[in-house]
Amino acid sequence: MKCQYCEKPATFHITEVLGADGPQVMHLCEEHARTFLSKESPTPAATIAGALAKQLKLGGKPSAETEQKECPVCGISFFEFRNTGRLGCPYDYTHFESELEPLLVNIHDAPRHTGKRPQRAPVSADSQATLIQLRREMEEAVEREDYEQASEIRDRIRDLEASGNRGSDD
């Protein structure tokens, strides 16, 4: 979907519930979302997406260095996250922790989880990150048609999955 004011993709979908003509849905690119939100009165954000957009705006534009910072596991840059509002892999929460924490504090009540926890003993985060990284490398190998490399990586993924899973079944 395109932004309703320009040709860029709409990454923010904001429902304005306070308008005189009743609720109105806005589909905006980041830039127009910023403009739209900056015009708003300082009332709490109307929607969840709006809250995120607002926090990204309040955070100001990070330094070029931060923007270019990339996750070594999935390859997403902080710029791409800011642009889309979506992270690339679980490891991003660790890699971008210093950038994400102020955002999480602003969106949520507190930056620490107090709810339910998985009952199983956690599997090594390192091997999970390695798996994600290998999957990326395999896709890249397939893209450049290096099937020998892709097949090697696939074997490594299978080995790792087999050692990590109690019951591999697929």
Partner 1 sequence: MNGVRPTQSGRRKSNVRRDQTFDELAGKCGEWLRGTGPESDIVISSRIRLARNLADFPFIRRCGDEDRLSIERTVRARMDKITELTDVRYFDVDELSEVDRQFFVERQLISRELADNDGARGVAIDPGEQFSVMVNEEDHLRIQVMHSGLSLETAWDQINRLDDLLESTITYAFHPKYGYLTACPTNVGTGLRVSVMMHLPALVITRQIDKVFRSLQKISVTVRGLYGEGSQYTGDFYQVSNQITLGKTENELMQQVAEVVPLLIDYERRARQFLIEQSEKDLHDDVSRALGILCTAKKISSEETMHYLSKVRLGVNLGLIDDVAVKVINKLFIHTQPAHLQKLRGKLLGSSDRNIERASYLQQHLSGQGKRESGLN
Contact footprint for partner 1 (CB under 8 A): 13, 15, 17-18, 22-23, 25, 27, 43-49, 51-52, 73-76, 84-90, 93-94, 100, 103-104, 107-120, 122-123, 125, 127-128, 131-132, 135-136, 138-139, 142, 161, 164-165, 167, 169-170
Least Cβ distance, residue 108 to partner 1 (angstroms): 4
DSSP string, 5-65: SSSSBP-EEEEE-SSTTS-EEEEE-HHHHHHHHHHS-SPPPSSHHHHHHHHHHHT-PPPHH
Whether the CB-CB separation of 93 and 129 falls below 8 Å is answered with no
Please identify, using beta-carbon distances, which residue of 6 and 105 lies nearer to partner 1.
105
Q: For partner 1, give the closer residue by CB, 34 or 132.
A: 132
Rounded Cα gap, residues 37 and 57, in angstroms? 8
Shortest approach of partner 1 to residue 127 CB, angstroms? 8
Q: How far is the CB of 61 from partner 1 (least distance, A)?
A: 18
Q: Among residues 22 and 60, whose Cβ is nearest to partner 1? A: 22
d(CA 57, CA 71): 22
